[in-house]
Amino acid sequence: MAADRRVPAWVPATSLVLCVAGVAVAGYLTYEHYSASTTLSCPSTGTIDCLKVTTSTYSKVFGIPVALLGLLYFIAITPLCLPVAWRSPVNAVHGLRAVASLAGVAFVCYLVWAELFRIDAICLWCTGVHIITVLLFFVVCFGTALLGSPDASDMAVLDIKEPEHGSRP
């Protein structure tokens, strides 16, 4: 049975803002990727070296630029973070959002590992995307937890049917 799903107003608002920010930053990195990174605005101080990261062998997964994957990810998850999606009575919407945010944060862990232990450099713009993804995961986690459980209410009703119509020892 589908029930009314309500979350605090800050959850849809925050998640949507994070998605839009993710689209913007990942879009910039994608643009820089396809423009040969000639204008990437990022300091090059050894540890921080965006070009070293965005042009490394870890900048692609199965031949697809990671920046493009990030952009597609945020474009895909944005509709799931609209207020109307948060109010959706369809459980699959909330499950898909939770799984997507979990996949995003798992991929971020892989990319952070690659930056720290394989590329030996940190990309500030990429780190921005990573932070947005992790924050989005946090918000989605809490939002999903706060959604309430229609099933739990149903179970509570079922539990009390017995004393209402019969007797307990």
Partner 1 sequence: MSPSSRSAEHVRRLQAQAARRERNRRLAMAGAAIGLVVVIVAALVIAKLAGGGSSNDNATPPLHGAPQVVAKVASVPASVLDSVGAGAGVTLPKHFSGVPPLVSGGKPEVLYMGGEFCPYCAATRWGVAVSLSRFGTFSGLGLTSSASNDIFPDTATLTFHGASYSSSYVTFHGYELSDRNHQVLDTPPSADQAVFQKYDAAPYTSTAGTIPFVDLGGRYFLFGSAFDPQILQGLTHLQIADDLAKPSSPVARAVDGEANLMTAAVCQTTGQQPSSVCSSSGVKAAAARLASGG
In the complex, least distance from residue 115 CB atom to partner 1, rounded to whole angstroms: 9
Q: How far is the CB of 14 from partner 1 (least distance, A)?
A: 14
Encoding tokens for residue 98?
A: 């939770």
* Minimum distance of partner 1 from residue 136's CB (angstroms): 11
CA 117/CA 119 separation, integer angstroms: 6
136: CB partners within 8 A, 6+ apart: 15, 18, 19, 22, 77, 81, 101, 104
Residues linked to residue 122 through DSSP beta bridges, in sequence order: 48
Give strand pairing partners of 44. 49
Residue (of 104, 115, 129, 167) closest to 25 by Cα position = 129
Nearer to partner 1, 90 or 120 (CB): 120
Determine if 164 is a binding residue for partner 1 (CB under 8 A): yes
Q: How far apart are CA 86 and CA 22, in angstroms?
A: 19
Residue with smaller CB distance to partner 1, 40 or 67:
40
Ranges within 13-72 binding partner 1 (CB under 8 A): 36-38, 40, 42, 44-47, 49, 51-57, 59
* Residue 76 lies near partner 1 (rule: CB under 8 A): no
- Give yes or no for residue 157 binding partner 1 (CB under 8 A): yes
Neighbours of 99 (CB within 10 A): 11
Q: Which is nearer to partner 1, 49 or 85 (CB)?
A: 49
Instruction: Catalog residues that contact partner 1 under the rule CB under 8 A.
Output: 36-38, 40, 42, 44-47, 49, 51-57, 59, 102, 105, 109, 112-113, 116-120, 134, 137-138, 141-142, 144-149, 152-153, 155-157, 159-160, 163-164
